[in-house]
Amino acid sequence: MSSLQTDQYNIIRKIGEGGMGTVYLAEDILLERKVAIKALNKPDPSAAASMENRFQQEALALARLNHPNITHLYAFITRNESYWMVMEFVEGETLENWVRQKGTLNTTTAGSILAQLLDGLDHAHRKGIIHRDLKPANVMISTEGEVKIMDFGIARIRNSQRLTQLGKSVGTLEYMAPEQVQGKEGDELTDIYAAGNILYEMLTGYPPFRSDSDYALMKAKLEEDAPLPAAISQSWQQFLSTALHRNPQKRFSSARQMKEALQRCMTQEVYQEHQLMTALHSNETRQIPPELPRSNTLANILNRREELFKDKYVGLLVLVVVLCIGLLVWNYFRNTASQQTVVPALVKKADPDKRNNNLSETEIQQDKPISHQTPVSRIDQPAKDLPVVPVSPVKREPSSPEKKQVPTKKTEPKKEPADITEHPAPTPVTVTTAPERSGPVRIPPGIEIEIVLDETLSSEERSKDGNAVRMHATRDLKIDGKTIIHAGAPVVGKIVDVVPSGRRKKALIGFIVRFVQAANGQQIKLHAERFRQQSTGLDEPSFFRAGTSFKAELGRGTVD
């Protein structure tokens, strides 16, 4: 170690060692800060040139990157017939250590770590750097809660000389993508697969594929789909299924798209750095299975009863909750069955001088309280003899005629209130509210709606050029108080610009939107740019995935 001492760097201790280099903690005497120095191990003479080239390529890759979620390179030095990389020293623990300590992480904590990792990965990919060896051991979490990607030792720089022999696999087998197992060079989609692997391990405590035999492990990766954890929601299962797909073209197309999908899965906001450290240091994430889906929660508890009831206190708590829910449901239906009271009601005639849209003085006139054994057929008692109970205002059209309560049966001649109990046949009366605004509504210019694709569009399906494409609106749209478009309303478009991948042209897929179906069945024209997606390189397909959202503008017109 003494041979590594220099005038600027004081070596403190060794903190790690790999096949290519040894990492030391050192102090930068001139800048008064701690650094990590990675020194190239003395290689075997037959492999010296290859290791030196790869070590230099790692330095070149790090030199291109400047992002808070990637370790920084400060200097590259030739020293004693060897090479040094002087890098940022990250004080903290690897993600591998955190998973080992905690067993599993809940979806909020795991998703927050993955979000930072994808930010760093997106930066690297935009700079043309592909990591190719992402795993929990190469991800550091600092004491401030920053997630750092480390060890670009086998990283690939796009358009640079290939350092790996064709057909030879590089990386860690448990985290390799299927194409790496086949000996292919790997690209951005390879890192997407590795990021999905990391999420899987955070949620379950182990990678998706495990075997005592390397051959069996490689065979499983090439022939089987990743088994999905049963204890997570359907949206998280779909997320993992896409990230870990055997076909690279069916994974998320970029780290940015993967993060957008991640945010849609999250039921809480992503933790900030200090919140992440609080969560990791708390006991909330220790040995806790991932969060259950929001729907059918009771069914999930029953399916996982063996796991939950390992702790007798948890089992007792679940039993008490189930019993309480059962008692509440039983009591509710018992009370509902016993209530047969019919309450007469009248809508007080509105003041004709008030012509605003809201009926501000709508009131219910009610007789004296009576039991369900006292049937009522009279509903036309004088308002002055009855107590008045106000209700919430209801909307009605200013020009619409006032609605009066019309009894469904012919009433007998008017009598005094004392005669009410003489009629045996009950006639329940309901209060009707003003309907939603009727009549034609003009669509003003500039109204936008959000639409979502219901199917995946691929540049490789040339036969679908010119076919209709299925979409739907994401939410209700009201204009002047009238619902014009319901959430889920069908949107029709047309597939255009289908150019399959090839060696001469980049793949292209596009579509246009035409109209949306209004609530009354009428078709409303839509205006939007032609949506087009082109592949990043030759021999690569292009596609729009189902679930992708777009904006479109309603055409002017009138809806009846």
- What residues act catalytically? 133
Query: CA-to-CA distance for 246 and 180, rounded, in angstroms?
Result: 11
Tokens read off for 216: 């069996």
Closest CA to 311 of 295, 293, 287: 287
C-alpha angle 503/543/248, rounded to 5°? 75
Closest CA to 553 of 393, 390, 426, 443: 443
Closest CA to 252 of 199, 190, 177, 174: 190
Tokens read off for 365: 């006139």
Q: How far is CA 464 from CA 114, 431, 500, 532, in A?
A: 36, 54, 12, 15
The dihedrals phi and psi of 422, each to the nearest 5 degrees, come to -80, -10
Tokens read off for 464: 């679908």
| Contacts within 8 Å (CB) and 24+ apart, 301-304 | 303/230, 304/230, 304/231
C-alpha angle 287/289/295, rounded to 5°? 160
* Amino acid (one-letter) located at 525: K
Return the number of other C-beta atoms located less than 10 Å from residue 312's C-beta: 8
Q: Return the bridge partners of 526, or none.
A: 554
Burial of 163 (0-12, 13-18, 19+ CB in 10 A): middle
DSSP-based three-state secondary structure for 157:
strand
Q: Return the bridge partners of 495, or none.
A: 511
Name residues whose C-beta falls within 8 Å of residue 435's C-beta, 6 or more positions apart in sequence. Answer: 396
Helices 107-126, 273-281: crossing angle, 10 deg rounding: 140
Query: CA-to-CA distance for 514 and 142, rounded, in angstroms?
Result: 51
Burial of 460 (0-12, 13-18, 19+ CB in 10 A): middle
DSSP-based three-state secondary structure for 548:
coil
Closest CA to 205 of 101, 309, 284: 101
Query: CA-to-CA distance for 429 and 100, rounded, in angstroms?
Result: 66
Residue 322 backbone zone (phi > 0: left; psi -120 to 50: alpha; other: beta): alpha
Query: CA-to-CA distance for 308 and 557, rounded, in angstroms?
Result: 58
Query: CA-to-CA distance for 222 and 214, rounded, in angstroms?
Result: 12
Return the number of other C-beta atoms located less than 10 Å from residue 282's C-beta: 10
Name residues whose C-beta falls within 8 Å of residue 339's C-beta, 6 or more positions apart in sequence. Answer: 372
